[in-house]
Protein backbone atom coordinates (compact mmCIF):
# COMPACT_ATOMS: atom_id res chain seq x y z
CA UNK A 1 0.00 0.00 0.00
CA UNK A 2 1.31 3.39 -0.93
CA UNK A 3 2.36 5.90 1.75
CA UNK A 4 -0.31 8.34 0.56
CA UNK A 5 -2.99 5.77 1.38
CA UNK A 6 -1.64 5.30 4.90
CA UNK A 7 -1.49 9.05 5.62
CA UNK A 8 -4.79 9.76 3.88
CA UNK A 9 -3.30 12.57 1.79
CA UNK A 10 -4.34 12.86 -1.84
CA UNK A 11 -1.34 12.70 -4.17
CA UNK A 12 -0.56 13.08 -7.86
CA UNK A 13 -1.73 10.01 -9.78
CA UNK A 14 -4.42 9.09 -7.24
CA UNK A 15 -7.94 8.33 -8.42
CA UNK A 16 -10.37 10.55 -6.57
CA UNK A 17 -14.15 10.32 -6.40
CA UNK A 18 -16.00 13.63 -6.26
CA UNK A 19 -19.57 13.51 -4.92
CA UNK A 20 -21.92 16.45 -5.43
CA UNK A 21 -24.83 17.36 -3.08
CA UNK A 22 -27.24 15.20 -5.12
CA UNK A 23 -25.02 12.14 -4.78
CA UNK A 24 -23.74 12.16 -8.37
CA UNK A 25 -20.25 10.69 -8.63
CA UNK A 26 -17.32 11.86 -10.77
CA UNK A 27 -13.99 10.00 -10.80
CA UNK A 28 -10.77 11.78 -11.82
CA UNK A 29 -7.04 11.01 -11.72
CA UNK A 30 -5.11 13.82 -10.08
CA UNK A 31 -2.55 15.59 -12.23
CA UNK A 32 -0.88 18.95 -11.44
CA UNK A 33 -2.17 21.83 -13.54
CA UNK A 34 -5.30 20.04 -14.76
CA UNK A 35 -8.85 21.26 -14.21
CA UNK A 36 -12.00 19.15 -13.88
CA UNK A 37 -14.99 20.80 -15.57
CA UNK A 38 -18.65 20.17 -14.74
CA UNK A 39 -21.88 21.90 -15.70
CA UNK A 40 -21.72 23.48 -12.25
CA UNK A 41 -18.25 25.03 -12.42
CA UNK A 42 -14.68 23.74 -12.45
CA UNK A 43 -12.29 22.28 -9.85
CA UNK A 44 -8.51 22.55 -10.13
CA UNK A 45 -6.62 19.34 -9.42
CA UNK A 46 -4.08 21.43 -7.48
CA UNK A 47 -6.86 22.28 -5.00
CA UNK A 48 -7.05 18.56 -4.14
CA UNK A 49 -3.41 17.44 -4.25
CA UNK A 50 -1.94 17.38 -0.74
CA UNK A 51 -5.30 17.66 1.03
CA UNK A 52 -6.61 14.90 3.33
CA UNK A 53 -9.04 12.35 1.95
CA UNK A 54 -12.55 13.29 3.03
CA UNK A 55 -12.07 17.00 2.28
CA UNK A 56 -14.73 19.22 0.73
CA UNK A 57 -13.81 21.45 -2.21
CA UNK A 58 -15.84 24.11 -3.98
CA UNK A 59 -16.20 24.52 -7.71
CA UNK A 60 -15.95 27.91 -9.39
CA UNK A 61 -19.79 27.99 -9.23
CA UNK A 62 -19.60 27.59 -5.42
CA UNK A 63 -20.92 24.00 -5.40
CA UNK A 64 -19.46 21.70 -2.75
CA UNK A 65 -17.90 18.33 -3.68
CA UNK A 66 -16.77 15.63 -1.26
CA UNK A 67 -13.36 14.20 -2.29
CA UNK A 68 -12.53 10.57 -1.42
CA UNK A 69 -10.67 7.70 -2.97
CA UNK A 70 -13.17 5.31 -4.61
CA UNK A 71 -13.85 2.05 -2.81
CA UNK A 72 -13.43 -1.20 -4.71
CA UNK A 73 -17.22 -1.45 -4.99
CA UNK A 74 -17.31 2.02 -6.58
CA UNK A 75 -14.41 1.26 -8.89
CA UNK A 76 -15.79 -1.98 -10.38
CA UNK A 77 -19.08 -0.33 -11.31
CA UNK A 78 -17.41 2.54 -13.16
CA UNK A 79 -14.31 0.91 -14.72
CA UNK A 80 -14.04 -0.01 -18.45
CA UNK A 81 -15.88 -3.23 -19.29
CA UNK A 82 -15.40 -5.96 -21.84
CA UNK A 83 -17.86 -8.34 -20.22
CA UNK A 84 -20.50 -7.76 -17.57
CA UNK A 85 -18.95 -7.38 -14.14
CA UNK A 86 -19.64 -9.52 -11.08
CA UNK A 87 -21.53 -7.17 -8.77
CA UNK A 88 -20.05 -6.38 -5.34
CA UNK A 89 -22.90 -8.23 -3.62
CA UNK A 90 -21.95 -11.43 -5.43
CA UNK A 91 -18.19 -10.91 -5.12
CA UNK A 92 -18.59 -10.57 -1.35
CA UNK A 93 -20.52 -13.86 -1.27
CA UNK A 94 -17.82 -15.60 -3.31
CA UNK A 95 -15.05 -14.41 -0.96
CA UNK A 96 -16.96 -15.38 2.18
CA UNK A 97 -18.65 -18.63 1.11
CA UNK A 98 -15.51 -19.69 -0.73
CA UNK A 99 -13.58 -19.18 2.53
CA UNK A 100 -10.81 -17.20 0.85
CA UNK A 101 -8.05 -16.17 3.24
CA UNK A 102 -4.59 -14.56 3.18
CA UNK A 103 -2.05 -16.89 1.58
CA UNK A 104 -4.63 -19.04 -0.23
CA UNK A 105 -3.96 -20.32 -3.74
CA UNK A 106 -6.95 -19.68 -6.01
CA UNK A 107 -7.85 -20.69 -9.56
CA UNK A 108 -10.26 -18.37 -11.42
CA UNK A 109 -11.93 -18.74 -14.83
CA UNK A 110 -13.08 -16.60 -16.68
CA UNK A 111 -11.87 -13.17 -15.84
CA UNK A 112 -14.28 -10.94 -17.75
CA UNK A 113 -13.44 -7.33 -16.85
CA UNK A 114 -11.48 -8.22 -13.70
CA UNK A 115 -14.06 -7.18 -11.07
CA UNK A 116 -14.06 -10.49 -9.19
CA UNK A 117 -10.30 -10.86 -9.68
CA UNK A 118 -9.67 -7.75 -7.59
CA UNK A 119 -11.78 -9.11 -4.73
CA UNK A 120 -9.88 -12.41 -4.88
CA UNK A 121 -6.51 -10.64 -4.83
CA UNK A 122 -7.51 -8.52 -1.86
CA UNK A 123 -8.60 -11.65 0.01
CA UNK A 124 -5.43 -13.69 -0.57
CA UNK A 125 -3.00 -10.78 -0.14
CA UNK A 126 0.55 -10.48 -1.50
CA UNK A 127 1.54 -13.88 -0.06
CA UNK A 128 -1.28 -15.75 -1.78
CA UNK A 129 -1.71 -16.65 -5.44
CA UNK A 130 -4.48 -16.15 -7.97
CA UNK A 131 -4.19 -17.90 -11.34
CA UNK A 132 -6.81 -16.45 -13.70
CA UNK A 133 -7.69 -18.03 -17.03
CA UNK A 134 -9.60 -16.12 -19.72
CA UNK A 135 -10.42 -17.43 -23.20
CA UNK A 136 -10.64 -14.04 -24.93
CA UNK A 137 -7.56 -11.90 -25.38
CA UNK A 138 -9.58 -8.66 -25.53
CA UNK A 139 -11.25 -9.39 -22.20
CA UNK A 140 -7.89 -10.32 -20.69
CA UNK A 141 -6.39 -7.02 -21.83
CA UNK A 142 -9.25 -5.02 -20.29
CA UNK A 143 -9.05 -7.00 -17.05
CA UNK A 144 -5.29 -6.51 -16.78
CA UNK A 145 -5.67 -2.77 -17.29
CA UNK A 146 -8.43 -2.52 -14.66
CA UNK A 147 -6.52 -4.59 -12.08
CA UNK A 148 -3.26 -2.70 -12.56
CA UNK A 149 -5.04 0.66 -12.49
CA UNK A 150 -6.71 -0.19 -9.18
CA UNK A 151 -3.62 -1.63 -7.47
CA UNK A 152 -1.23 0.91 -8.96
CA UNK A 153 0.71 -1.67 -11.00
CA UNK A 154 1.07 -5.45 -11.45
CA UNK A 155 -0.11 -7.41 -8.41
CA UNK A 156 2.59 -9.81 -7.09
CA UNK A 157 0.06 -12.58 -6.42
CA UNK A 158 -1.60 -12.57 -9.85
CA UNK A 159 -0.93 -14.60 -12.98
CA UNK A 160 -3.18 -14.21 -16.00
CA UNK A 161 -3.36 -16.94 -18.66
CA UNK A 162 -5.17 -16.63 -21.99
CA UNK A 163 -6.72 -19.85 -23.25
CA UNK A 164 -9.19 -22.62 -22.52
CA UNK A 165 -9.25 -23.63 -18.84
CA UNK A 166 -9.05 -27.39 -19.47
CA UNK A 167 -6.22 -26.97 -21.96
CA UNK A 168 -4.28 -24.70 -19.60
CA UNK A 169 -4.63 -27.15 -16.71
CA UNK A 170 -3.78 -30.18 -18.87
CA UNK A 171 -0.68 -28.46 -20.25
CA UNK A 172 0.48 -27.60 -16.73
CA UNK A 173 0.13 -31.25 -15.62
CA UNK A 174 3.08 -32.22 -17.76
CA UNK A 175 5.42 -29.62 -16.27
CA UNK A 176 7.30 -29.13 -13.02
CA UNK A 177 4.63 -26.65 -11.88
CA UNK A 178 1.16 -28.21 -12.15
CA UNK A 179 -1.70 -26.02 -10.96
CA UNK A 180 -2.58 -27.02 -7.38
CA UNK A 181 -4.98 -24.73 -5.53
CA UNK A 182 -7.01 -24.41 -2.33
CA UNK A 183 -10.00 -22.70 -3.91
CA UNK A 184 -11.53 -22.46 -7.38
CA UNK A 185 -13.99 -19.90 -8.76
CA UNK A 186 -15.68 -20.45 -12.13
CA UNK A 187 -17.60 -17.73 -14.00
CA UNK A 188 -18.21 -19.24 -17.43
CA UNK A 189 -20.92 -20.47 -19.80
CA UNK A 190 -20.45 -24.24 -19.30
CA UNK A 191 -18.68 -24.88 -15.99
CA UNK A 192 -19.88 -28.50 -15.88
CA UNK A 193 -17.50 -29.30 -18.75
CA UNK A 194 -14.50 -28.25 -16.63
CA UNK A 195 -15.29 -30.12 -13.40
CA UNK A 196 -13.00 -33.14 -14.06
CA UNK A 197 -10.00 -30.87 -14.77
CA UNK A 198 -10.81 -28.67 -11.77
CA UNK A 199 -11.04 -31.75 -9.53
CA UNK A 200 -7.48 -32.69 -10.45
CA UNK A 201 -6.18 -29.24 -9.50
CA UNK A 202 -8.22 -28.62 -6.32
CA UNK A 203 -6.85 -30.17 -3.13
CA UNK A 204 -9.09 -32.45 -1.02
CA UNK A 205 -11.31 -30.29 1.16
CA UNK A 206 -10.89 -27.36 -1.22
CA UNK A 207 -13.89 -25.22 -2.11
CA UNK A 208 -15.37 -24.72 -5.57
CA UNK A 209 -17.66 -21.72 -6.16
CA UNK A 210 -19.50 -21.38 -9.48
CA UNK A 211 -21.27 -18.25 -10.72
CA UNK A 212 -23.87 -18.77 -13.46
CA UNK A 213 -26.59 -16.61 -14.95
CA UNK A 214 -29.46 -19.04 -15.60
CA UNK A 215 -31.33 -21.80 -13.78
CA UNK A 216 -30.48 -24.21 -16.61
CA UNK A 217 -26.75 -23.65 -16.10
CA UNK A 218 -27.22 -24.04 -12.36
CA UNK A 219 -29.04 -27.36 -12.76
CA UNK A 220 -26.50 -28.81 -15.20
CA UNK A 221 -23.58 -27.85 -12.97
CA UNK A 222 -25.21 -29.33 -9.87
CA UNK A 223 -26.09 -32.59 -11.61
CA UNK A 224 -22.61 -32.92 -13.09
CA UNK A 225 -21.07 -32.47 -9.63
CA UNK A 226 -23.37 -35.14 -8.17
CA UNK A 227 -22.64 -37.60 -10.97
CA UNK A 228 -18.86 -37.11 -10.62
CA UNK A 229 -18.99 -38.45 -7.08
CA UNK A 230 -15.90 -36.55 -5.92
CA UNK A 231 -17.81 -33.48 -4.72
CA UNK A 232 -19.92 -32.90 -1.64
CA UNK A 233 -23.63 -32.13 -2.02
CA UNK A 234 -23.72 -28.75 -3.83
CA UNK A 235 -25.49 -25.74 -2.31
CA UNK A 236 -27.02 -22.97 -4.40
CA UNK A 237 -28.41 -19.51 -3.68
CA UNK A 238 -28.83 -15.99 -4.98
CA UNK A 239 -28.60 -12.66 -3.18
CA UNK A 240 -30.66 -9.52 -3.59
CA UNK A 241 -29.86 -6.10 -2.15
CA UNK A 242 -32.47 -3.45 -1.40
CA UNK A 243 -31.39 -0.03 -0.20
CA UNK A 244 -33.35 2.12 2.24
CA UNK A 245 -34.21 5.81 2.09
CA UNK A 246 -33.09 7.59 5.28
CA UNK A 247 -34.25 11.13 5.96
CA UNK A 248 -35.43 11.97 9.46
CA UNK A 249 -38.42 9.77 10.25
CA UNK A 250 -39.00 9.08 6.56
CA UNK A 251 -37.44 5.62 6.60
CA UNK A 252 -38.64 3.36 3.79
CA UNK A 253 -37.34 0.93 1.18
CA UNK A 254 -35.94 2.48 -1.97
CA UNK A 255 -37.98 1.98 -5.11
CA UNK A 256 -35.08 0.34 -6.92
CA UNK A 257 -33.03 -2.65 -5.87
CA UNK A 258 -30.23 -4.85 -7.20
CA UNK A 259 -32.24 -8.00 -7.81
CA UNK A 260 -31.20 -11.14 -9.65
CA UNK A 261 -27.75 -10.95 -11.19
CA UNK A 262 -26.74 -14.61 -11.06
CA UNK A 263 -26.76 -17.86 -9.12
CA UNK A 264 -23.95 -19.08 -6.89
CA UNK A 265 -23.18 -22.74 -6.28
CA UNK A 266 -20.61 -24.11 -3.86
CA UNK A 267 -19.25 -27.58 -3.18
CA UNK A 268 -16.10 -29.12 -1.72
CA UNK A 269 -13.63 -31.63 -3.12
CA UNK A 270 -13.73 -35.09 -1.57
CA UNK A 271 -10.55 -37.05 -0.77
CA UNK A 272 -9.12 -39.10 -3.64
CA UNK A 273 -10.95 -42.39 -4.06
CA UNK A 274 -13.76 -41.38 -1.71
CA UNK A 275 -17.33 -40.97 -2.94
CA UNK A 276 -19.67 -38.50 -1.30
CA UNK A 277 -22.56 -40.15 0.57
CA UNK A 278 -25.92 -39.82 -1.14
CA UNK A 279 -28.17 -37.15 0.32
CA UNK A 280 -31.41 -38.76 1.53
CA UNK A 281 -34.54 -36.81 0.69
CA UNK A 282 -38.19 -37.44 1.44
CA UNK A 283 -40.02 -37.94 -1.89
CA UNK A 284 -42.50 -35.25 -2.85
CA UNK A 285 -46.20 -36.34 -2.94
CA UNK A 286 -46.27 -35.81 -6.71
CA UNK A 287 -43.83 -38.71 -7.11
CA UNK A 288 -46.48 -41.19 -5.98
CA UNK A 289 -49.28 -42.58 -8.16
CA UNK A 290 -52.80 -43.68 -7.19
CA UNK A 291 -51.59 -47.31 -7.27
CA UNK A 292 -48.71 -46.53 -4.89
CA UNK A 293 -49.39 -47.18 -1.18
CA UNK A 294 -47.86 -43.82 -0.34
CA UNK A 295 -50.29 -41.88 -2.53
CA UNK A 296 -52.25 -39.20 -0.69
CA UNK A 297 -50.17 -39.34 2.48
The pLDDT of residue 156 is: 96
84 within a domain of the structure (yes/no): yes
Confidence of residue 2 (pLDDT cuts 50, 70, 90): very low
Is 87 in the same domain as 175?
yes
141 within a domain of the structure (yes/no): yes
Is 94 in the same domain as 17?
no
Name 265's bridge partners: 210, 236
Confidence of residue 274 (pLDDT cuts 50, 70, 90): confident
229 within a domain of the structure (yes/no): yes
User: Total domain count for the chain?
Assistant: 2
Lowest mean pLDDT among 56-60, 273-277, 291-295: 291-295
Per-residue pLDDT of 122-157, as tens digits, reads 999 999 999 999 999 999 999 999 999 899 899 999
> Does the pTM exceed 0.95?
no
b/e burial code for range 164-177 (CB count within 10 A of at least 16 → b): bbbebbeebeeeee
CATH code for the domain of 104 = 3.40.50.150
Which domain covers residue 246, as residue numbers?
74-268
Averaged pLDDT for residues 239-264: 92
Lowest mean pLDDT among 154-158, 175-179, 234-238: 175-179
193 within a domain of the structure (yes/no): yes
CATH code for the domain of 61 = 3.10.330.20
Amino acid sequence: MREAHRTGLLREGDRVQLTDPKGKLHTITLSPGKVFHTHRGAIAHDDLIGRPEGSVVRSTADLEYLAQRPLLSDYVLSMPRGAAVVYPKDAGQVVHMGDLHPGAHVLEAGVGSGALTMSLLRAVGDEGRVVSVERRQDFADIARGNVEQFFGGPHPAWRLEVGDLVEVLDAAEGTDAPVRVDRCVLDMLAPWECLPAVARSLRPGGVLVVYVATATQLSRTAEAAKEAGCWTEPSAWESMVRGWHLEGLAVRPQHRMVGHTGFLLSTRRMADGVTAPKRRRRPAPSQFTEEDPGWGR
